[in-house]
Structure 1
Amino acid sequence: MPPRLSRREFIRSTGAAGLGVATVGWSRVVPAQSNSKLRVLSIGVVGTIGAKDRKTVAEHPSAEIVGLCDVDEEYLAEAAEDHPDAFTCKDYRTAFADRADEFDAVIVATPDHSHATIMLTALAHDKHVYGQKPLVHQLEEIVLIERAIAAKPDLVTQVGNQRMVYPGRRAAVEILRSGVLGKAVAGYAWTGSPNRGSYFNFDRELSGPLSPPESLDWDLWLGPCAERPYREHLVPTKWRSWWDFGSGGLGDWGVHVLDVIFFGYDELLSPIAVTTHAPAAADTFHTRPCQSTITYAVDSENFARKFFPLHYSDSNQRPSRAALGLPAGEWAGSNMTVVVCEGGVLALSAGGGLEIWRDGTMTDGLEMPGLPEFPELNHWHAWVDTILGVETELRTPFVDGARITEAALLAVKASRFPGQELRWDKAALAFTNNDEATATIVKRNYRDGFAPPAVG
């Protein structure tokens, strides 16, 4: 494939060497002590994916789980059976206060609302961080994370984006970056979430106050959020539907369907506007279905216009194939990414199925000429290897995760103002045309004792 502006050249030419520029595999590293294993503290040890994160990292021959932290005693006991020599605690703050010298790195697999406070505490203590998606819960927290990683360039970070190991997804990035499809016109992404599965309070049921399970420390679970009573349809996984704790379908799937667009185009730094259409404003719960348009200002030969719209929807709301110049047929999945370019259309499923459409004819994306080989890659082990100084592909370090999460969170937060275009100024952390939005959907008031530390 013909070369296009390299990542290093782009950074130099734009002066964007600081925040928000994709750095696949470019993290600076500090190898662990020679002849020793990477010592990892797991926070959120079971939950939705905490057990998978913990167990897969522990399978790396040069890593070990030395600490377990969870607000649920039953989960702690379950994880301790796998790691009998690991210390245990309920409160992440005590782990950093009393045992910080006993671990080198941290896995954060807790509910969305507590991500930033824990991750920033870890970065403040010079710990490498593997953090589950979405990276953070508040727009302000994106800036806090970016400042922290800029101040701690030797720390290796990774967002939970295990789908990026699929060859089709890696090929999609190469194809977009090559420019073989011509200038980019628009991006589309959608997710089938929320749904009636075990992860969402789909019917938005609000029970009366209840006593929490005996094994759960409810106060610690709330973390940075204001005190409130425990209710049904919340713990252990349906908190995703609650405004104060989760990020709905759009936030939950953003990293898995928006990522390739950002990896393909470094120029997409921060949006200038967002509009989310929904049947009603989000309240206690996230609303659905949502259709959002996130607009970026771009000044690059890689784009057809000076503005690039990114259309992002939940509830399996798909674009018209005819409107995109495609023949009649079915999309390949309910969680997908589509990039429309002047010379063709790239369609990618979450599982890595890749189609390239040109003039009504489809080509298997992995058969496009000029693609490199895509060796087998373990997402979790790549984080460990990078920390240890082993050359690998580190997909979705926090510098990339911040850009992806900003787009997803803007779509989510704008659902409080359905149908209204909000003009976004990230530097000012403000919606310049809506003071109410600036006051209510950009940041949170942290509960005493749970505010994130300033890093950088």
Structure 2
Amino acid sequence: MKSKPTIEDANLTRRQFLRRTTAATTTYLVVPGSVLGLNGATSPNEKLNIAGVGIGGQGAADLSKMESENIVALCDVDWAHAAHTFKRYPKAKPYKDYRKMLEEQKEIDAVVVATPDHLHAFVSMAAIKLGKHVYCEKPLTHSVWEARQLAEAARQHKIATQMGNQGQASEETRRLSEYVWAGAIGPVREAHIWTDRPSQGLFNEYWPQGVGRPKDTPAVPETLDWDLWLGPAPERPYHPAYLPFRWRGWWDFGTGALGDIGCHAFDPVFRALKLGQPISVEASSTRVNTETYPLGSMVTYQFPARGDLPPCKLTWYDGGLRPPRPAGLADEQVMGDNG
């Protein structure tokens, strides 16, 4: 049994103290350089504790770029769809409810949010209010109001945030801006952006738009928590028409082709042309219903002059619609494949 300290232990002479401490410091431990952060390695003490929410699709790809950090928690409402990600990070604790995850694992430093769009703001806000840094997939939120609330919360809690719009960190996007700023193509007064989404060729689709709600009500898969998947959305019966991936075209869950692809395609144009707020927006589309976005649409934005840059008209097309073919384009030359 370890003896208790006595009064004699407190009456060490300086010589005795030096003798004992010298003996103690002559025994040392050899550790790998990586533990100390040498040779470019990151010390374990400097690694972030990362949690992922919505890890069956894009969230898995996002986490794969963060493996230099500690992946400590994984959350998905469909454990079958996300099984490959749970398997890849066996040390991470699995969850279905992000609220429980944030409550239980206080050591989380940052959260990757890659859920369907209608949950982005709710998961991100919960993390931000706890002082967690957030990387949220595009589109940032399901509405403009939600985006403004997140921006205010991020400023208030002084945390780092980033939206997953990976292409805009590319050298190609920066080079495009430099070409335009250098005047290589002259003043730009008109720009066109298009996508085939939600269509995929003439007869296929990436996700449904322009359709009504399914009438049948199949059973919910055992591995899916349908109530958690719905989250803040109005209650409705489960149907495989909504998930995975196909939720993008439904008003309650996604943002349609414009929201899903526009944040990729608009950004380089806005950056290169230094666009700000439009002075007018005009839209037309195929038939609209209360369940899904239209099958195709055209949206025209008018922007005022910006310094030495002239006014600019920007037109968006989706659903396979395209701008008129330029007269100077050779017959055999393809007019872009997707904007």
Shorter chain as denominator, the TM-score bin is 0.7 to 0.9
Report deviation, 1:328. Answer: 5.1
Report deviation, 1:335. Answer: 2.2
1:28: which partner in 2? none
* Aligned partner of 2:230 among 222, 231, 237: 222
- Pair 1:335 & 2:338 matched: yes
Q: Which amino acid aligns with 1:117?
A: F
- Alpha carbons 2:325, 2:335 under 8 Å: kept: no
Separation of aligned partners in 2, 1:149 and 1:332: 42
Q: Which amino acid aligns with 1:66?
A: V
1:89: which partner in 2? 95
C-alpha RMSD of the superposition: 2.5
Structure 1 segments unaligned to the other structure (5+ residues) = 1-31, 337-456
* The 10-residue stretch of structure 1 (103-112 or 311-320) with the greater mean CA deviation from structure 2: 311-320
Question: Counterparts of 1:54-69 in structure 2 under 5 Å?
Answer: 54-58=63-67, 61=68, 63-69=69-75
Separation of aligned partners in 2, 1:237 and 1:76: 13
Identical aligned pairs, as a percentage?
Answer: 35
Report deviation, 1:278. Answer: 1.0
2:165: which partner in 1? 161
* Aligned partner of 1:292 among 287, 299, 307: 299
- Alpha carbons 2:209, 2:295 under 8 Å: kept: no
Question: Counterparts of 1:46-445 in structure 2 under 5 Å?
Answer: 46-47=56-57, 49-58=58-67, 61=68, 63-99=69-105, 101-152=106-157, 154-196=158-200, 199-201=206-208, 204=211, 206-266=214-274, 268-296=275-303, 298-305=304-311, 308-322=312-326, 330-331=333-334, 333-336=336-339
Q: Secondary structure at the match of 1:221?
A: helix
TM-score by length of 1: 0.59
Q: Secondary structure at the match of 1:227?
A: coil
The count of corresponding residues between Structure 1 and Structure 2 is: 294
Q: Secondary structure at the match of 1:147?
A: helix
Q: Secondary structure at the match of 2:315?
A: strand
Q: Which amino acid aligns with 1:83?
A: Y
- Alpha carbons 1:207, 1:231 under 8 Å: kept: no
TM-score by length of 2: 0.78
1:119-164 CA-to-partner distances (Å, cap 9, x unmatched) read: 2222222222221111111121222233234435x53322222223
- Alpha carbons 1:278, 1:290 under 8 Å: kept: yes
Distance 1:177 1:121, change over 3 A: farther
Q: Secondary structure at the match of 1:88?
A: strand
Q: Which amino acid aligns with 1:42?
A: G
Q: Which amino acid aligns with 1:309?
A: K
Distance 1:213 1:138, change over 3 A: same
Q: Which amino acid aligns with 1:87?
A: K
Report the structure number with the largest CA radius of gyration.
2
- Alpha carbons 1:239, 1:246 under 8 Å: kept: yes
Report deviation, 1:198. Answer: 7.0
- Alpha carbons 1:191, 1:313 under 8 Å: kept: yes
* Aligned partner of 1:38 among 44, 48, 57: 48
- Alpha carbons 2:209, 2:294 under 8 Å: kept: no
1:172-223 CA-to-partner distances (Å, cap 9, x unmatched) read: 1222334443333122111111125674025736242232111111111011
Q: Which amino acid aligns with 2:118?
A: H
Distance 1:177 1:104, change over 3 A: farther
- Alpha carbons 1:321, 1:328 under 8 Å: kept: no
Q: Which amino acid aligns with 1:245?
A: F
Task: Say which structure, 1 or 2, has more relative contact order (CA 8 Å, 6+ apart).
Answer: 1
Separation of aligned partners in 2, 1:270 and 1:136: 19
- Alpha carbons 2:197, 2:206 under 8 Å: kept: no
Distance 1:87 1:134, change over 3 A: same
1:324-369 CA-to-partner distances (Å, cap 9, x unmatched) read: x655554453322xxxxxxxxxxxxxxxxxxxxxxxxxxxxxxxxx
1:271-318 CA-to-partner distances (Å, cap 9, x unmatched) read: 34322211212421111211111233x34224213xx32211102322
Separation of aligned partners in 2, 1:316 and 1:88: 40
2:11: which partner in 1? none
Report deviation, 1:76. Answer: 4.8
